[in-house]
Homo-oligomer: A and B are copies of this chain.
């Protein structure tokens, strides 16, 4: 087992063990945010036939030669074509057909003129301009040709993709399934939120923040409850995690005498890959895996440490597993509102709020940075990266910030 890795080394080790998850076939309407696991070919052209992009008149452009505001061309209105309807016959020279948006272009017609550019008088329509041939006509296959591959495996299914699938008549689609994450808390001092917190007992709140982080990363979590500091209890709970894709254990996987989780994991066949990452918060992180089972993350027990290590390692692994290409949080450069100092050796993740000022950002630490103080995370809009080797970030100096809430990157409406 490797020890005391840099954040980059640890990330590489985790992603090196992370394999693509299987696919499932599900209702297209339920597939928002999933990664497509098939190539989608179109069974048909979209639109299926030449049709009108406007409400107006379908006609032959040649009949309007020389037409203008002062000298409109007069055409006989032969019939009407509604969207979803069809033309009764070929449109002859000198004729126009009343047409509505989406209606198929009548045979014989080659152009559509907007209603606004015409005057109607009984069966006659006067057109006040000479349009280019094909204007306001949406061509058959303009969006998609029959047989064309319109979506590629690996694309993340967004709202436009679901619209596209519907337009192709697809009601089911093959996509990467959501990873299943088993979440375990451990420690005799822990109780559930409705438990008795006298005598120094504390709520196992990590289970709740980690489950939410799983959901944010597109994963389903299931909660194994609180394991007592007792190998038999730990083993019983861990056995039910062996079918999961990922096991996240908060506390109980470190070097303390009472930390039984690690030995139970090894007994069950978990190969431990590294222990300790040169970061703060979050040094005591354990990573391992079962050969035919879950990746295992033994996160530190402090609330902030657990969340920050999840962000750096578990989240990218969950996204990579789903086949996403972009697995890291957005980053921006921001000026530090304060002078920051530390000892060299560990990469610090400083919880900051962000203020936008035009194209520039200012990052300000969210109060007490102790790893026990969850308030610093509820206020955090980003994590400022204070590099391992650095001892100081002067006030006003630039630093890289991982964005936890992408909405902070929005401009005010008045700037758009």
**In the complex with contacts A169-B194, A209-B162, A215-B32, A301-B102 CB distance below 8 A:** yes
Contact with B along A33-69 (1 / 0, CB 8 A): 0000000000010111101010100000000000000
Interface residues of A in 103-136 (CB under 8 A from B): 103-104, 115
Interface residues of A in 137-160 (CB under 8 A from B): 138, 142-144, 150-151, 155-156, 158-160
* Interface status of A200 (Cβ within 8 A of chain B): yes
* Interface status of A206 (Cβ within 8 A of chain B): yes
Q: Is the CB of B82 within 8 A of A164?
A: no
Q: Which residue of B lies closest to A83 (CB)?
A: B189
Q: Is the CB of B216 within 8 A of A32?
A: yes
Task: Choose among B11, B199, B359 the residue that contacts A333 (Cβ–Cβ < 8 A).
Answer: B359
Task: Choose among B163, B328, B370, B405 the residue that contacts A303 (Cβ–Cβ < 8 A).
Answer: B163
Q: Is the CB of A82 within 8 A of B229?
A: yes
Contact with B along A207-220 (1 / 0, CB 8 A): 11111110110000
Q: Is the CB of A406 within 8 A of B404?
A: no
Task: Choose among B8, B156, B165, B410 the residue that contacts A405 (Cβ–Cβ < 8 A).
Answer: B156
Residues of B within 8 A of A171 (CB): 193-194
**In the complex with contacts A100-B256, A408-B326, A170-B193 CB distance below 8 A:** yes
Q: Is the CB of B331 within 8 A of A8?
A: no
Number of interface residues of A (CB under 8 A): 123
Q: Which residue of B lies closest to A373 (CB)?
A: B143
Q: Is the CB of B213 within 8 A of A159?
A: yes
Q: Is the CB of B208 within 8 A of A165?
A: yes
Q: Is the CB of B151 within 8 A of A378?
A: yes
Interface residues of A in 369-416 (CB under 8 A from B): 370, 372-375, 377-378, 380, 385, 400, 402-416
* Interface status of A203 (Cβ within 8 A of chain B): yes
Task: Choose among B155, B169, B211, B407 the residue that contacts A29 (Cβ–Cβ < 8 A).
Answer: B211
Interface residues of A in 269-308 (CB under 8 A from B): 301-303, 307
Q: Is the CB of B208 within 8 A of A163?
A: yes
Residues of B within 8 A of A55 (CB): 254-259
* Interface status of A25 (Cβ within 8 A of chain B): no
**Docked CA distance A140–B415 (Å):** 46
**Docked CA distance A288–B142 (Å):** 33
**In the complex with contacts A201-B84, A205-B167, A256-B100, A328-B370 CB distance below 8 A:** no
Q: What distance in Å separates the Cβ of A202 from its nearest Cβ neighbour in chain B? A: 6
**Docked CA distance A154–B104 (Å):** 51
**Docked CA distance A254–B54 (Å):** 11
* Interface status of A85 (Cβ within 8 A of chain B): yes
Most chain B CB within 10 A, of A86, A229, A328, A400, is at A328
Q: Is the CB of B203 within 8 A of A155?
A: no
Task: Choose among B199, B204, B406, B412 the residue that contacts A104 (Cβ–Cβ < 8 A).
Answer: B199
Contact with B along A341-352 (1 / 0, CB 8 A): 000000000000
Q: What distance in Å separates the Cβ of A121 from its nearest Cβ neighbour in chain B? A: 16
Q: Is the CB of A328 within 8 A of B159?
A: no
**In the complex with contacts A47-B372, A405-B158, A410-B209 CB distance below 8 A:** no
* Interface status of A368 (Cβ within 8 A of chain B): yes
**In the complex with contacts A32-B215, A143-B372, A102-B189 CB distance below 8 A:** yes
Q: Which residue of B lies closest to A328 (CB)?
A: B410
Contact with B along A303-327 (1 / 0, CB 8 A): 1000100000000100000001011
* Interface status of A90 (Cβ within 8 A of chain B): no
Q: Is the CB of B380 within 8 A of A160?
A: yes
Q: What distance in Å separates the Cβ of A169 from its nearest Cβ neighbour in chain B? A: 5
Q: Is the CB of A189 within 8 A of B407?
A: no
**Docked CA distance A169–B406 (Å):** 29
Q: Across chains A and B, which 5 residue pairs bring their CB atoms closest together, nearest first?
A: A163-B209, A330-B409, A84-B189, A83-B189, A84-B188
